[in-house]
Structure 1
Amino acid sequence: MNTLARLRPYAGRRWWLLPGALVLSALSALLGMAPLVFIWRIVRELLVPSAPDSMAFIASMGWWAFAAAIASLVLYFLALAASHLAAFRVEVQLRRLSMRRLVALPLGFFDRHTSGRVRKIIDDDASITHGFLAHQLPDLAGTVVTPLAALALLFVFDWRLGLASLLPIAAGMGLMASMLGGNARRFMKLYEDSLEQMNSEAVEYVRGIPVVKVFQQTVLSFKRFHQSILSYRDMVVRYTLLWETRMSAYTVLVHGFAYFLIPVAVLLITHDEPALGVVVDLLFYLLLTPLFAQAIMRSAYITQAKDQASEAVERVEALLDVETLPMAEAPQALAAYDLEFDEVSFRYPGAERLAIEGVSFHVPAGQTYALVGPSGGGKTTIARLVPRFWDAACGQVRIGGVEVGALEPGALMDKVSFVFQNSRLFKASVLDNVRFGDPEATREQVEHVIDLAQCREIIDRLPQGLDTLIGSEGTYLSGGEQQRIALARALLKDAPIVVLDEATAFADPENEHLIQQALAELTKGKTVLMIAHRLSSVMDVDRILVVDQGAIVERGTHAELVARGGLFAQMWAEYRAAMRWTLGRAAEPEEANHA
């Protein structure tokens, strides 16, 4: 589909400004050529006087040239103003629709798409469409009109010189067309793909800078980022070399037109043409012919910009076309808050094997169940199906007897609090970060959950307390402190179902103790499904589900599973051995000192 046709719906009522900009730009281009004609007439009058009053004629031609130049500038300014108004509307709409789509997409989408890639689509690709509509599109009219008008003028004064001018221009246009053909379009797609990949890997590299600094590594240690740079370089160099010969020939042709004109002029003079008249006409053609070269180069830039804009629109629309999770036609309400998995299986998009298969369990309302097991067994997948990061491939996930897909998404999110391993805080005040749990909460309510989440000592040492902006003036929180603020946010939300994805995974011992206290407040009287790697944290839960290779292989209380001697008992023995080893290693220096 034509790039303009694809962009038209996003311009809304401002779309008419773009045809208007084209018309104004075309008129500007025509008026921009008029001074050349007037200047030629001035030169001709100076060399071959023909007017009754030469000085008056020259003065009038000068004023006409000045007026045409000013009018051309004014019309071009109006064309740019009109195109910018439409371009800004398109850019804003693309970003607004993209942001709305992101909010509506299942959270699982963000597991498969890096933040760098999403940022490029919303920011860079939307800006590319603006550049094309605001700048290159108005220039398109001038690029078409200028050579057509110049072509007519070529044969008005002397068709022989006109033909001599046209030969190198025609050859140059043929070379440019060959450079802007299929290879150029394929390159533009490869270029945008590699730029997107490099941008995505750059974001991940910046996030990993602390690791790079600590271990004194370089960009070479980030193989994917380094490889994306090398791939981009190799592709651009290969394409540049492809253009080398043709671009050199093109430059010689379009900028060496004088070598075609002068021999023809000499030939005309030697065949009894008036020498002065031929020289005057030659000067005109020397002024006029460069307009073709400018138009050809401008057409190359416009074609490149159009291809970039087409790729950009395709990427934005690919984001807009990502399917949201299906919504129930008649959403149901919840009357109970027990949680049930009924023969649930799930496969990640693009994966060959199932991540989980035939998972069934029931968490009674108000009880706490823990998911434990080897890494990659499917614990996180199970947990993320509760708030509909994804929909199950088969089977059902139910809350209070209602399948989660039959709930309105907003209502589901209101009833489920999900605490991640590494919760993120926004660059906003602590107060606003906590209020994400309940935007209508009063300051007193926020203060209350701050105390429940064991965050009071954090707030007391911040320069502006709750009003301190995270990330400003060197104000940063440790991972454990951020987790406690996130727990305060979850406490404020006060959802009846809580899903914990190893909330203490990256906390130091002191923060872990405080987080455990906050979790005790958060889960009080709630239905809780928690993922645990530290087995000491699941000793008192109501039931433990052992997950391995996508299935629940054991279930029971801590004591029952240890007594059973299965996988959990093995994990528990290894955990205790690791703890004894750590304590033993810590005690060795003290024993040495006493000795």
Structure 2
Amino acid sequence: MTASSPSVAAPAELRPDLPPRRPDPDPADTKAQQRAGARALAELMKPVSAQLTLARLLAVLSGVLAVVPYIALVRIGDVLIGAHAAGVAVDGGEVSRWLRILLGAFGLRLGVYFVALLVTHLADARLGHLIQERMVRRFARVPLAWFTSTNSGRVRKALQDEIGTIHHLIAHQPVDGTNAVVMPLALTVYAFVIDWRLGLLSVATLPLYVGAVLLSMRGMGEKTVEMDRRLSTVSARMVEFVTGISVVKAFGRVGKAHRNYQEAADDFNLFYLKWVRPLIRVSALGTSFLAVPLVLTINIGVGSVLVHGGSVTAADVLATALIALLIPYALEVLMNSLWAQQLAGGAALRITDLLETPTLAEQDGAAVPVSNEVVFERVSYSYRSGAEAALAIDDVSFTLREGTVTALVGPSGSGKSTIATLLARFDDPLSGVISIGGVPVGEVPDLYSRVGFVLQDAQLLALSLRDNIALGRPDATDEQIRDAARAAQVLDEIEALPNGFDTVYGRDTGLSGGQAQRISIARALLVDAPILVLDEATALTDPESQHEIQQALSALVRGRTVLLIAHRPEVIKGVDQIVLIEAGGIRAAGTHDELLSQPGYARLWRADNGTRPADGRALTTGEPR
């Protein structure tokens, strides 16, 4: 098998700017991973195992049929040579009969081969669809926090690259790999049937080639697993790098994403060079043993001696020489199939890992909340598992009375966003209960029709602005969508676009941060959820947009139970309740006037002194406080 190497960086010893090379992994670990990959692959392929078995049986038949044209070729040669030696006319009927057999067998073999490939390609399409369906169903039940903590490159690689890696193993390997074993065996047997000496000639250089291949294949499984692991790291780091390109451009090589990607790429290149250089030398030597000139020299040269001795005919030598030329091709296909199986094992293991991602607990029954009051009762949560994991929030208890606005304030990293996302059930608490109207959030039917949220980073899809606003309520009428956009202070700007609400975000136009945020507010208005989570909705917008967003938010929170997160106390001065969060716990709760005497809140207020919203007003529901 011949390997090709990609462009690589200079070795580490010539690159003083690179970090020290990481030690090679324990071979026992890679062997265990290889076995796990084989098990995962077998499990993943179970739904299409019957189709693959059928395809292999058809490939066996195709491989056996490959012998028939050679039999016909020898018979035609014998007829022609015999007629020439006897000085008589060629028996045209006999030649025509064997030509029909040759062409018929060849056509039948191609037909069987085509059907076998059709079966495997249909199985591949079915398996890919089943895997994607399973992933979608799984991802629909995993905690939303998992998507923010999991590298997006890993998910993209599983949904696209890994399924593509398995494609060759499903669509081609069962047929090509089986045919690569059966056909050379059948042809070699026939070569020995013709004459045992010609049979030996047809495989004369094969032991040398096999020896070279076995030498180059030492540790191939472990090396393939390790290559695949390092390549996956490069892919993940590349996604991080591209995602943070603006920061990388600002800070150059000191950017963390750039440095991580550079280290992963250099690490992979050094590993790959160390592996491939000796492999190429041995592979080149092995390939030379099966070179066409050498094979023909041995088979025709020695075969001609046998012809002169009267032991065999020229047709026999020609047939076995052709067989000798086909055996290397079959071996190359077989080696490529084995390589594809190694890569597919690693891909299957990563797909299986994603398909086994822990999901949110499913409740047996569902109860309807009697109100929209939200109660946090002794809630604790950690982003990591294990007894030593630090708690992000610890023993948090407070109540959001129905129809009121509760604001969470505190320093960055204190746990405010964690509390808010637990209400939206991005994940389940480690302990304690969050309930809506007396029902734990995990048992609330259709939770997101009752709890809406507007986050600081507005997420819009590559859809029309109409569809983006109606994302949570696809049956909404155009008038309802317009009303929501009007209340969100973004209607005039949408209608000013050439295609209005039909404008496709990201293709027809881009939007400012403030515009995108107001469209997300319009989306929340249209869903009309009675409970609302606002997480720093104005944090990433320009000062000119904050007035419009503030007006839109005031319309959004009116009459709803609202949990608001803000760093600036002035923004939430008029809310019903303020909860001060520090180090994952509640330090104080009350109104703005009640908390001014609390040292932590007073410190936040002093730090914000002089920083006010663009219109100088606090968030209000339109009702007196």
TM range, smaller chain: 0.7 to 0.9
Describe the SS at the equivalent of 2:205: helix
Secondary structure (helix, strand or coil) at the match of 2:432 reads: strand
**Secondary structure of 2:140 counterpart:** helix
- Structure 1 match to 2:275: 239
The reply on whether 1:254 has 2:312 as its aligned counterpart is: no
Partner of 1:373: 410
> Which amino acid letter does the alignment assign opposite residue 197 of structure 1?
T
Distance 1:198 1:438, change over 3 A: same
Distance 2:432 2:215 in 1: 57
- Residue of 485, 490, 493 corresponding to 2:524: 490
Alpha-carbon RMSD: 2.9
Tell me if 1:155 matches 2:192. yes
CA contact (8 A) 1:427 1:469 kept: yes
Deviations along 1:477-535, one digit per CA (max 9) or x if unpaired, are: 11111110000000111111111110101111121111111111111121111111233
For 1:238 and 1:377, how far apart are their aligned partners in 2? 48
Q: Which residue of 2 aligns with 1:112?
A: 149
Greater Cα offset, 440-449 or 34-43 = 34-43
Q: Deviations over 1:443-470 (max 9, x none)?
A: 1111111111111222121112122221
Letter in 2 for 1:189: V
**Is the aligned partner of 1:328 residue 2:363?**
yes
Deviation (angstroms), 1:157: 2.4
Q: What does 1:30-109 align with in structure 2 at a 5 Å threshold?
A: 30-47=64-81, 49=83, 53-54=89-90, 56=92, 57-109=94-146
Report the CA distance shift for 1:68/1:220 in structure 2 as closer, same or farther (over 3 A): farther
Contact 2:488–2:519 under 8 Å retained in 1: yes
Contact residue 146 and residue 291 of structure 1 kept, 8 A? no
State which of 28, 36, 40 in structure 1 corresponds to 2:62. Answer: 28
For structure 1, the residue ranges without an aligned partner over 5 or more in a row are 581-595
Which of 130-139 and 202-211 deviates more? 202-211
Distance of 2:432 and 2:569 partners within structure 1: 29
Residue type matched to 1:134 in 2?
Answer: A
The answer for the alignment partner of 2:497 in structure 1 is 462
1:412 CA displacement: 1.8
Could you say which residue in structure 1 is the equivalent of 2:238?
A: 202
Contact kept, 8 Å, 1:345 with 1:354, in 2: the verdict is: yes
Deviates more, 1:512-521 or 1:222-231: 222-231
Alignment of 1:139 with 2:176, yes or no, is: yes
**Matched residue type, 2:334:** S
> Are 2:590 and 1:556 aligned?
yes
- Cα deviation for residue 334 of structure 1 reads 0.4
Instruction: Kindly provide the amino acid, as one letter, of the partner of residue 575 in structure 1.
Output: D
Amino acid at match of 2:59: S
Instruction: State the alpha-carbon separation in 1 of the partners of residues 502 and 313 from structure 2.
Output: 81
2: CA distance, partners of 1:530 / 1:415: 16
Aligned-pair CA distance for 1:374: 2.0
Q: Choose from 377, 387, 391 the match for 1:354.
A: 391
What's 1:343 paired with? 378
Q: How high is the TM-score relative to the length of structure 1?
A: 0.87
Q: How many residues align?
A: 569
Cα separation, 2, equivalents of 1:216 and 1:241: 33
| Residues 385, 392 of structure 1: 8 Å contact kept | yes
Judge which range, 38-47 or 155-164, deviates more: 38-47
1:220-278 per-position Cα deviation (integer Å, ceiling 9, x unaligned): 97222223322332332232124234313321223344565577558868xxx616837
Letter in 1 for 2:364: E
Tell me which residue corresponds to 1:526.
Answer: 560
Preserved contact between residue 41 and residue 349 of structure 2 (Cα < 8 Å): no
2:343 aligned residue (294, 299, 308): 308
Task: Return the alpha-carbon distance in structure 2 between the equivalents of residues 568 and 296 of structure 1.
Answer: 75
Distance 2:477 2:268 in 1: 52
User: Is 1:416 aligned with 2:451?
Assistant: yes
1:211 CA drift (Å): 4.8
TM (norm. structure 2) is 0.83
* Code of the aligned partner of 2:262: H
Shift of 1:332: 1.6
State whether structure 2 residue 463 is matched by structure 1 residue 428.
yes
Secondary structure, aligned partner of 1:371? strand
Q: More displaced, 51-60 or 332-341?
A: 51-60
Match of 2:473 among 438, 455, 479: 438
Hey, what does 1:286 align to over in structure 2?
321
Query: Which piece of structure 1 moves more, 430-439 or 156-165?
Result: 156-165
1:79 & 1:6 partners in 2: Cα distance?
A: 22
8 A Cα contact 1:344 1:358, kept in partner: yes
User: Counterpart of 1:252 in structure 2: which amino acid?
Assistant: S
SS at match of 1:54: coil
**Per the alignment, do residues 262 and 465 of structure 1 end up closer, same or farther by CA in structure 2, a change over 3 Å counting?**
closer
CA contact (8 A) 2:581 2:587 kept: yes
Check 1:116–1:315 CA distance in 2 against 1; reply closer, same or farther (3 A cut).
Answer: same
Match of 2:621 in 1: none
Q: Distance in 1 between the 2:146 and 2:39 partners?
A: 29
The one-letter amino acid of 1:521's match is A
SS at match of 1:104: coil
- Checking the alignment, whether the CA contact within 8 Å between 2:40 and 2:352 is kept in structure 1 is no
| 2:309 counterpart residue number | 274
One-letter amino acid of the structure 2 residue matched with residue 508 of structure 1:
D
Residues 427, 393 of structure 1: alpha-carbon distance in 2 compared, 3 angstrom cutoff = same
Describe the superposition over 1:120-141 as per-residue Cα deviations: whole angstroms up to 9, x where unpaired. Answer: 2112222333332212221122
Residue 390 in 1 paired to residue 390 in 2?
Answer: no
Distance 2:177 2:149 in 1: 39
Contact 1:450 1:488 in 2 (8 A): yes
Aligned to 2:545: 511
Deviates more, 1:169-178 or 1:228-237: 169-178
Q: 1:334, 1:400 within 8 Å by CA — same for their partners in 2? A: yes
Distance 1:201 1:216 in 2: 16
Partner of 2:226 in structure 1? 190
Higher helix share: 1
Using the alignment, how far apart are the partners of 2:475 and 2:464 within structure 1?
Answer: 16
Residues 71-113 of structure 1 show CA distances to partners (whole Å, capped at 9, x for unaligned) of: 2222222221222122211111111221122122210110222
Return the alpha-carbon distance in structure 1 between the equivalents of residues 256 and 99 of structure 2: 63
- State how far apart, in whole Å, the 2-side matches of 1:479 and 1:111 are: 20
Counterpart CA distance in 1 for 2:59 and 2:605 is 77
Listed as ranges, the gaps of 5+ residues in structure 2 are: 1-37, 614-625
Structure 2 CA distance for partners of 1:467 and 1:262, relative to 1, 3 Å: closer
How many Å separate the matches in 1 of 2:130 and 2:337?
23
Structure 2 counterparts to residues 205-244 of structure 1, below 5 A? 205-211=241-247, 222-244=258-280
Identity across aligned pairs (percent)?
Answer: 34
CA-to-aligned-CA distance 1:345-365 (integer Å, 9 cap, x gap): 111135732212122222222
Worse overlay, 155-164 or 414-423:
155-164
